[in-house]
Structure 1
Amino acid sequence: MATASSLTDSSPAAHPEQQYLELMRQIWEQGSERVDRTGVGTRSVFGAQLRFDLAGGAMPLLTTKRVYWKTATREMLWFLTGDTNIRPLVLQGVKIWNEWPHARYVRETGQDIALDDFIQRIADDETFAERWGDLGPVYGKQWVDWPTYRYRKDGLYEKGKGINQVADVVESLRTNPGSRRHIIEGWNVAELDRMALPPCHKTYQFHVAGDRLNCLLYQRSCDVALGLPFNLWSAALLQRMIAQQTDLEPGELVWMGGDTHLYLNHEHLITEQLAREPQGHPVLEMVRRPASIFDYAIDDFVVQNYTPHAPIKAPVAV
């Protein structure tokens, strides 16, 4: 089976997390088995959809395993700085991007340094981090500094001022809420080959209905077991921040997946998680309204009523 439609259960008694679990079950039981870029192998469906209502502070924070929402939040705040070097994340104990620069270092230098030793050097040596910790023009660079070029009279091009898509969307939501162009795009075709990983959560579109801000995220490629729990939280968080900055109430988060897959070596995680039942309804409190979308800090966010099952570890495919 190569397609997946919306898995939203309209029953008022259904826990919002059930649609995630049903997507996981559908992929594992009916997905098309494929050879993927990493060589690990996946089962995949195409064209999945999940929907979450964020009213009342609700968030798509999974409870059938612990999701480290502060780690995902720190990553989102890092995106909004436009930085593309992992060192600020490393210094905060955020490990989710470590494997890609480590793999590049080993490949280009031939030195088989252990991942932990490599990351410690990133933390300790700013010059080393500048050379080996950069991921290329990934998410944040495209979001807040999309490159532009100007044609000169001598027939050459020169770099122009970068486009801050996030700031532009906040402004357009304030001044022209009915627009159909409230979009943040990460897929810069001209720079894909310079990125450690081309953007997976690539396109965000916002929509105002009354006083509610809705968000649709299109994700071209999605690791449902490890990536999607972070992606859902992060998209909802960005939606909540933009809603606060534009004096709107958070509405519905609509997530759409292109190649939506599970890795074959995640069977233990999938089996364990599908055996669990969701518990509780996490709520996000935003304790401060900063001056701009770029001024949030980790202490501005407090999650209440989060009582998840234990975490489930699984390897990341690089």
Structure 2
Amino acid sequence: MSAPARSRPDHPEWQYLDLMRHIWEHGDQRMDRTGVGTRSVFGAQLRFDLGADRIPLLTTKRVFWKAAAKEMLWFLTGNTNIRPLLQVGVTIWSDWPLAKYRQQTGDQMDQKDFEARIVEDEAFAAKWGDLGPVYGKQWVDWPTYESDGEGKFIAGPGINQVAGVVESLRTNPGSRRHIIEGWNVAELDRMALPPCHKTYQFHVAGEGDAARLNCALYQRSCDVALGLPFNLVGATILTRMIAQQVGYQPGELVWMGGDTHLYLNHAHLVEEQLSREPDGEPTFAILRKAEDIFSYRFEDFEVRDYAPQGVIRAPVAV
């Protein structure tokens, strides 16, 4: 597969495209949980400067950043039901509860009808729209248990990791424990999908007005074609919100992947995207400082100068 000319060889998006090309041409071909099959490499890294309002928003295809932003705000609520997402037009989590519904009921309901039923029928949503204790539940309400003194344990107060990280960044910026963790081993079997972007660690570089907030995101499993573009946007937004709350400048986003893969049925997407050349420098602005990290609204966000090339669609492997 021939590579396009690089009129802007320093464009940060080439990192993503080079990773995609490397996986497609040199990845280990293997079967996976979904039965679709992948080409996979293990251990990858991308680095993006978030200064000057930069955001790693791909220009070689349209990325629906609004859905990624709304998903991140949903995570911060701790909600695990897809109903609030569907109410704002975000359908990226529908596949998993729909598959469960079809399997358990035998009703092969169309996805759009299923989503409409979730929105319209609160009882139906409560039964079929919940994903289990995924992401946000672990982020803001990690479960604890306390002894009742008689050999049994009862539920204790949940741990809000996000609030804890914001506080620790304010009071102890040099700490090496600024971590938000989603991989709760005891609850993985209850999750529709165990967390892929599982660990966020924050790091403060510099002091005073020049202090910068860096974020390292470790992803144990990464669908490079469909998932990674969203994950980069979500991590950027989370880092920018936290940086604003604690009074630091945005620093660097360091993304690290474990099993980093492309699905075999994404060949058309890979070939089309690799034929394109990055262009443009989109930026991301937060229009107001919210009262706290949990009080941001989608209307507070604005992406500027984003003129991507066309959409490239591909199926999600469930």
TM-score range, shorter chain: over 0.9
How many aligned residue pairs are there? Answer: 307
Aligned to 1:280: 280
Aligned to 1:236: 236
State the Cα distance separating 1:120 from its structure 2 match. 1.0
1:32-71 alignment, distance < 5 Å: 32-71=28-67
State the Cα distance separating 1:274 from its structure 2 match. 0.3
Partner of 2:234, secondary structure, is helix
State the Cα distance separating 1:151 from its structure 2 match. 1.0
Matched, 1:98 2:94: yes
Partner of 1:43, secondary structure, is strand
State the Cα distance separating 1:119 from its structure 2 match. 1.0
Aligned to 1:158: 154
Aligned to 1:7: none
1:37-186 alignment, distance < 5 Å: 37-186=33-182
1:244-283 alignment, distance < 5 Å: 244-283=244-283
Q: Where does the alignment leave 5 or more consecutive residues of structure 2 unmatched?
A: 1-7
Partner of 2:47, secondary structure, is strand
What is the rounded CA distance, in whole Å, between the counterparts of 2:90 and 2:112 in structure 1? 13
Q: Which amino acid aligns with 2:304?
A: Q
Q: Which amino acid aligns with 2:93?
A: W
Matched, 1:31 2:35: no
State the Cα distance separating 1:53 from its structure 2 match. 0.4
Aligned to 1:212: 212
What is the rounded CA distance, in whole Å, between the counterparts of 2:149 and 2:273 in structure 1? 61
Structure 1 length-normalised TM: 0.96
State the Cα distance separating 1:188 from its structure 2 match. 0.1
Q: Which amino acid aligns with 1:276?
A: R
Aligned residues with identical type, % of pairs: 70
Aligned to 1:292: 292
Structure 2 length-normalised TM: 0.96
State the Cα distance separating 1:45 from its structure 2 match. 0.2
1:90-140 residue CA offsets vs partner (Å, 9 max, x unmatched): 111101000000000111112121111111110110110011000000000
State the Cα distance separating 1:13 from its structure 2 match. 4.8
Partner of 1:24, secondary structure, is helix
Aligned to 1:307: 307
Aligned to 1:194: 190
What is the rounded CA distance, in whole Å, between the counterparts of 1:165 and 1:274 in structure 2? 38
How large is the Cα RMSD of the aligned pairs? Answer: 0.8
What is the rounded CA distance, in whole Å, between the counterparts of 1:291 and 1:118 in structure 2? 36
Q: Where does the alignment leave 5 or more consecutive residues of structure 1 unmatched?
A: 1-11
Matched, 1:20 2:16: yes
Q: Which amino acid aligns with 2:204?
A: V
Aligned to 2:4: none
Q: Which amino acid aligns with 1:175?
A: T
Q: Which amino acid aligns with 1:233?
A: V
What is the rounded CA distance, in whole Å, between the counterparts of 2:193 and 2:35 in structure 1? 16
State the 4+ residue runs in structure 1 displaced beyond 2 angstroms.
none
Partner of 1:105, secondary structure, is helix
Partner of 2:43, secondary structure, is strand
What is the rounded CA distance, in whole Å, between the counterparts of 1:13 and 1:21 in structure 2? 12
